[in-house]
Amino acid sequence: MSPLNRRDFLSLSLLTALDAAAVRPLLANSLPQGASVGSVAKRWAAFEELPSHAIQPHGWLQLYLKRQASTLAYALADTSWPFDTPYWQGEEQAPSWWPWEQVAYWVDGATRCALTTGDQKLMDRALERIRYTLSHANGSYLGPKYMRNGGLDYNRWPHAIFFRALTALSDNGSLANIPEILSSFYLSYQDGYDIAARNTVNVETMLWCYARTGNPALLAMAEHAWHGYVTGQPHDAADLNDKAVFGGGPITAHGVTYAEMAKLPAILYAYTGKPEYLRFALAAQQRIFDHHMLVDGIPSTTEHFGTTTALDSHETCDITDHTWTWGYLLSTTGDGVWADRIERACFNAGMGAIRKDWKGLQYFSCPNQVVASESSNHNKLKHGNYWMAYQPNPGRGTACCGGNVHRLFPNYAMRMWMTTSDGGLVAAMYGASSVSANVGHSKTLVTLEQRTEYPFADTIHFTLHAAHAVTFPFKLRIPGWCAKPELSIDGQHVPMPTVEHGFITLDRRFKPGTVVRLRLPMEVKAIHTVDNGIAYECGPLVYTQALDAAWTSDVVPKWTTAEYPAWNAHTAQAWNYGIADQPLPSLERNTSEANDPWANPPCSLTVEATTLPAWTTTAPAEPNGDRLTPALPTDRPANGTKAKLRLVPLGTTELRLTIFPKI
């Protein structure tokens, strides 16, 4: 589907859902006297995101987005509670906020997946909840009635999630009065955004509205909410105050809460230019990287931040939410390190937490997992339970990951390309795709096509399509892991421009058909862990010993179906290997072209290893349960059987050993 058609296919179905009489009450307080719709707030951000219809994913990303759209993204609403219950589409079904949170994740993810694929069937399903919510407003208020006026369940965190779907639709050109509708909501109900758990995340949408209406009351409200949160010390803010953040120590907070909250000062900087906001945001992130990062690109978060041993894991929500946050840091700072982090997390932790048929995912996933079943959870939060099995709704009652996972790769696709205020175009994250945008001082419409097998290959070709020659700055990211990038234009080698904040800039006149070739040579590197383990990376990919999985399935009433069951994965393959000092392996490439590189990895590493017979799975955590993935052993004799192991990209696997004991 063309970008134009992907934009237009939404408009009629959404706009006809609401008539003027239904919308009018929502707009009551959207603008102060003297303000006008369409004013644009000044921004200090380095990059701007594009509407989703401007970007078309190709290659494996398109394949997986379409697979997601046609399987679990659509079927989740028929498969498992609470997604099969009319939250955001009827009266309250439970006396709590959290089912509304979980369904809101799915609505946003399904909307974004439909936007990036043009899948009308999926979009229609997501719009059912959106239409209902917009057409059943109570004055300017949207959503569950019992959250409206406070009380024990006063919580506007589900609104922050649900409204992301509305902002994505609006940015795509559908229902143009969404900024006014949401502005009216916030200005009519201003209390509580500085006190309750995650309520303050609504600052994200307040500022989105401010950018599109120019209403200064929204900016003031957002700043008040943030300052009230960090100074008022609600129970979940202990890790987000000046003393904790600038002290630089480990984090004890809940992973998702910290990720969602810590991005807000970066967004505030983008709309105020106040440097204290940006300093706070960067320091808050640095604590994650200093103390909690796992080798696959996501911090240890089960569910609070933890240590970084081979047994530490992460919740799938954290993969989605940390990459969502890092996208804001990317656009705000213009620093390519944030794109590096997003790629590493998506390609490794993200792909490693889902079944490649898009019919199941894990609640907790780990770089080392030699069993993934109903009773294999080795994490201390809840030893033995079903959170490491691959399921359509892996948390069951705690169903956040089942909805939130659907935002992960649509958000990646929507942020691959960005623009700059001087008419430039930014290749922020790599993968086969195309983008159409107006560039240069002349605002000339161009399309840039990106052809590549990245991250499985190191060469990227950009071809410009335009009606005539055009001058504009074209920024290309040079990842931090790449020491010797190479550049050519129309077949002629070009000296590498200076790399600034992870990007080079080609500010020149481009003729139609110009081809820019960027090569990013990938070097194999060893990663050493705190528990005397070793892992290997090459470019953005982490490599692992893939373990053949024997799958069995169970149908759990209310949570799964015969088509989307709970999947248990076991292996009979030997995995208990250690690795002695040896030269770094060389990257080996499979010359066969695979349509799905995540199912048939085209690259690998070969290492020499030694079996550790005494290293076995640990005792079950519950009666008749599975034995659990063990920690790295302390006793590591080097007298076992020698073997050569073929390591493949972590994201291609479900069962794996990524961190090996050093012997």
CA angle, 166 then 169 then 174, to 5°: 120
Which of 100, 170, 152 lies closest to 129, judged by CA? 100
86 burial level (CB within 10 Å; 0-12, 13-18, 19+): middle
Name which of 606, 552, 602 is nearest 579 in CA terms.
606
- CB within 8 Å of 365: residues ≥ 6 apart: 313, 314, 316, 349, 352, 353, 388
The mean pLDDT of 390-419, rounded to a whole number, is 96
pLDDT at 189: 87
Share of the chain above pLDDT 90, in %: 83
Spatial contact of 585 and 536, defined as CB atoms under 8 Å apart? yes
Say what the alpha-carbon torsion angle 397, 402, 404, 405 is, to the nearest 10 degrees: 150
- 210 alpha carbon, distance to own chain's centre: 24
Which of 231-240, 263-272, 300-309, 422-431 comes out lowest in average pLDDT? 231-240
Question: Which tens digits make up the pLDDT trace of 550-575?
Answer: 999 999 999 999 999 999 999 999 99
Q: In a 10 Å sphere around its CB, with 0-12 CB exposed, 13-18 middle and 19+ buried, how is residue 422 labelled? A: exposed
In the predicted structure, residue 93 carries a pLDDT above the cut 80: no
Q: How far apart are CA 472 and CA 421, in angstroms?
A: 11
Amino acid at 492: Q
Burial zone of 292 (CB within 10 Å; 0-12 exposed, 13-18 middle, 19+ buried): buried
Question: Rounded distance, CA 576 to CA 613, Å?
Answer: 7
pLDDT band (50, 70, 90) for residue 595:
confident
Phi, psi of 23 (to 5 degrees): -80, -35
Position with higher pLDDT, 11 vs 88: 88
Tens-digit pLDDT profile for residues 297-325: 999 999 999 999 999 999 999 999 999 99
Q: What SS3 state is found at 140? A: coil
- Per residue in 462-498, is it b (16+ CB within 10 Å) or e — as a string? bbbebeeebebbbbbbbbebbeebebeeeeeeeeeee
Segment 341-351 mean pLDDT: 98
477 contacts 334 by C-beta, under 8 angstroms:
no
Mean pLDDT value across residues 348-374: 98
Helix (H) or strand (E) holding 289: helix 275-291
Q: Is 367 helix (H, G, I), strand (E, B) or coil?
A: coil
Predicted pLDDT at 448: 98
| Tokens standing for residue 114 | 């439909």
CA distances for 167 relative to 114, 216, 385, 444, angstroms: 14, 19, 37, 26
Cβ atoms of 425 and 466 closer than 8 Å: no
Contacts 24+ apart (CB under 8 A), 525-532: 525/481, 525/584, 526/584, 527/295, 528/662, 529/295, 529/308, 529/309, 529/310, 529/659, 530/307, 530/308, 530/309, 531/309, 531/310, 531/631, 531/632, 531/659, 532/632, 532/661, 532/662
For residue 408, the model assigns a pLDDT of: 98
Question: Does residue 543 carry a pLDDT above 60?
Answer: yes
The three-state (H, E, C) secondary structure of 375-429, written as one string: CCCCCHHHCCCHHHCEECCCCCCCCHHHHHHHHHHHHHHHCCEEECCCCCEEECC
Provide the percentage of residues in the chain whose pLDDT is more than 70: 90
pLDDT of residue 24: 42
Lowest mean pLDDT among 162-176, 205-219, 274-288: 162-176
Give the pLDDT score at 591: 66
pLDDT average, residue stretch 23-38: 38
DSSP state of 174: S
Under the banding of pLDDT at 50, 70 and 90, the label for residue 28 is: very low
- For residues 102-123, give the mean pLDDT: 97
Overall average pLDDT of the 18-25 stretch: 43
How do residues 182-238 score in pLDDT, each as one tens digit? 999 999 988 889 876 799 999 999 999 999 999 999 999 999 999 999 988 655 556
What's 291-334 look like in SS3? Answer: HCECCCCCECECCEECCCCCCCCEEHHHHHHHHHHHHHHHHHHC
pLDDT at residue 152 tops 60: no
Q: Cα–Cα–Cα angle for 120, 125, 126, nearest 5°?
A: 100
Give the model's pLDDT for residue 233: 62
* Model confidence at 13: pLDDT above 80: no
Could you tell me which residues come within 8 angstroms of residue 497 by beta carbon, excluding any fewer than 6 positions away?
A: 487, 504, 505, 506
Q: Of the candidates 49, 53, 61, 50, which has an alpha carbon nearest to the alpha carbon of residue 1?
A: 53
* Encoded amino acid at 384, one letter: G
**Inter-residue contact 355 to 433 (CB < 8 Å):** no
Higher pLDDT, 6 or 287: 287
Across 473-500, average pLDDT? 97
| Number of helices followed by number of strands (H, E) in the chain | 19, 25
Q: Please say whether the beta carbons of 140 and 26 come within 8 A.
A: yes
What's the mean pLDDT when you consider all of the chain?
91
Summarised one tens digit per residue, pLDDT across range 114-127 is 999 999 999 999 99
pLDDT for 3: 41
User: Residue 623, Cβ neighbours under 10 Å: how many?
Assistant: 7
Cα-based distances in Å from 196 to 25, 98, 280, 301, 543: 27, 14, 21, 22, 41
Give pTM, 2 decimals.
0.95
Q: Where are the beta strands (DSSP E) in 331-378?
A: 364-365
